[in-house]
Chains A and B, each alone.
Chain A
Amino acid sequence: MTVLLREVLRRMPDYAVDESKVARYPTIRWSTDTSRCRPASPG
């Protein structure tokens, strides 16, 4: 990743993202907030 990132920053440092084509791969984010989950049984 570092090699690729350095190469892209060096050769196309001002790239712009076409937002209409983003989200080909869904980004999944997790939260430590489990308030919407059923609490684990204490035993």
Chain B
Amino acid sequence: MAHSDRHGGFHVVTRYADVRRVLHEPATFACGRELEFAHAPGRRTGGVTVPINPVRMGMMELDPPESQAYRRLVAPYFSPKAIKEYQPRLAEIVTWLVDRVIGTGRIDFVDDLSNPLPALVSLDYFGLPLERWADYASALHKAAYREKGSARAVAELLADLGGTLAGLRVTLPERRAEGAPDTVVDRLLGAEVDGAPLPDEIVTEMVFMLLNGGIDTSTALIASMFGHLGAHPARRAELAADPTLVPTAVDEMLRYFTPGTGVARTVTAPVELGGVALRPGDRVLLALGSANNDPEMFPDPDDVRLDRDNNSKHLAFGSGIHRCLGAFLARPR
């Protein structure tokens, strides 16, 4: 555990066991943005980032039972079965991207693969227009790296997304009459809570959260993975010779490069963590990348081992009730 006084003060949780424990005790370590404590009247900022995100991240920044109600709405679309049914389409997009450049003898993994693929797959799977992939990806990369102008880029993306979703809401009855299968977006647009449709702003927030979770993280990991395998041709040859190692290799890349490096929680009750007494209202930043580098869990963590036997225990997707919904889409087996 470490501590920083910045952004109102927060503890940094670095050990695997401590990080996993926090993720599995949602009643004690909350995600909500506006939490109230008896000893500190008035509302307090929470959320899952330090500093707080300018935009609420859908159910990621809600606590049970509300978070689970929203999660249940879309969870069936991220089940192993649903993702398996999507495999032919995913393979088609991958092949198309490689086909575009294979004949040139040169490829820019970022521009040609790692940037377009996650954006195209996310938009396609969620049921959004593919032609906007570059704009959406650009705004989300800027936001992830807190580049200058990122707040404006995200605001523009949200406005664009809101307009697109409003249009899709209008045409939803038509699609259903034609027997078109529901997409993730259609599911949200058609969902009701207490007999009323989900408000547009909630649908926009949910879809933004899904895009944000799936695009920049995957782009970073794909680029890191191919960079690493390019620098280690023996490992790449090992994989090429034995493709059954690929799933374990992807998990090792997720462990080693952990694209989402941290997630925050707010303490709701007195608790001891890593030898530190925490009080309600304290903020903790879970260093996921550090947890995945913990030698007590992953011996010789700086060594990349494509056949590491426990690397699927990594926390790159989080763990517990808020585990990344898109894990099966990001890591299809």
Say whether A associates with B.
yes
Q: A residues engaging B (CB < 8 A)?
A: 1-17, 21-22, 24-32, 34, 37-43
Tell me whether chain A's interface is mostly helix, strand or loop, or mixed: loop
User: What residue in chain B is nearest A1 (Cβ atoms)?
Assistant: B250
Question: CB-CB < 8 A to A9: which residues of B?
Answer: 236, 239-240, 243, 246
8 A Cβ contacts from B227-284 to A: 227, 230-231, 233, 236-237, 239-240, 243, 246-247, 249-250, 253, 257-258, 261, 274-277
Q: Could you list 18 A-B pairs, sorted by A, with CB under 8 Å? A: A1-B253, A1-B330, A1-B331, A1-B332, A7-B91, A7-B98, A9-B236, A9-B243, A11-B98, A12-B102, A15-B226, A16-B230, A25-B219, A25-B223, A32-B293, A37-B3, A41-B276, A42-B275
Q: Is the CB of A2 within 8 A of B108?
A: no
Given contacts A29-B293, A30-B293, A32-B14, contact A38 B246 (CB under 8 A): no
Q: Is the CB of B246 within 8 A of A42?
A: no
Q: Is the CB of A25 within 8 A of B110?
A: yes
> Which of A17, A24, A28, A30 neighbours the largest number of chain B CB atoms within 10 Å of its CB?
A30
> Which of A1, A28, A31, A38 neighbours the largest number of chain B CB atoms within 10 Å of its CB?
A1
Given contacts A31-B293, A37-B12, contact A1 B261 (CB under 8 A): no
Q: Does B220 contact A (CB under 8 A)?
A: yes
How many chain B residues have a CB neighbour from A under 8 Å?
61
* Assembly CA distance A16 to B247 (angstroms): 22
Taking a contact as CB atoms closer than 8 A, the residue among B94, B110, B247, B330 that contacts A24 in the complex is B110
* Assembly CA distance A39 to B2 (angstroms): 5
